Amino acid sequence: MMDAYPADINLDRGKLAAAIEALIACSEACTACADACLSESSVAELTKCIRSDLDCADICATTARVLSRHTAYDANITRSVLEACATACKSCGDECERHATMHDHCRICAEACRNCEQACRGLLATIS
């Protein structure tokens, strides 16, 4: 879809595409992890993880939508959204990592969060 955009895009298209893919994958992993946590017998111990998952999923999905729009691009908004997303991914990844040895869904989610945080930071580094 980015190749079909008729005007210049003020971001590195490769890093932009990688970030959007990582954002969507992370949002899906976080949503699935929250649902899996709700199915665990120790659900009360996973309350913070569930909350982190849901917050991260929403922030990643919103960030992907913002990055998919290029008309009247505002670098300040893009930068702020990416910074917030990287923060959410770090927080969620840290929380999921606490449960990763007990719950495979948390391990998978932590990996998706780390990948997404890295993609967001990589794209941030290209914004002038």
Can you give the pLDDT of all 128 residues of the chain as single tens digits? 556 565 676 777 888 999 999 999 999 999 999 999 999 999 999 999 999 999 999 999 999 999 988 777 788 999 999 999 999 999 999 999 999 999 999 999 999 999 999 999 999 999 87
What is the rounded CA–CA span in Å between residue 101 and residue 112? 16
What is the rounded CA–CA span in Å between residue 9 and residue 2? 9
Domain ranges, ordered by start, for the chain? 12-124
The domain 12-124 is placed in CATH, from the list 3.40.50.720, 1.10.1060.10, 3.40.50.1100, 1.20.1270.360, at 1.20.1270.360
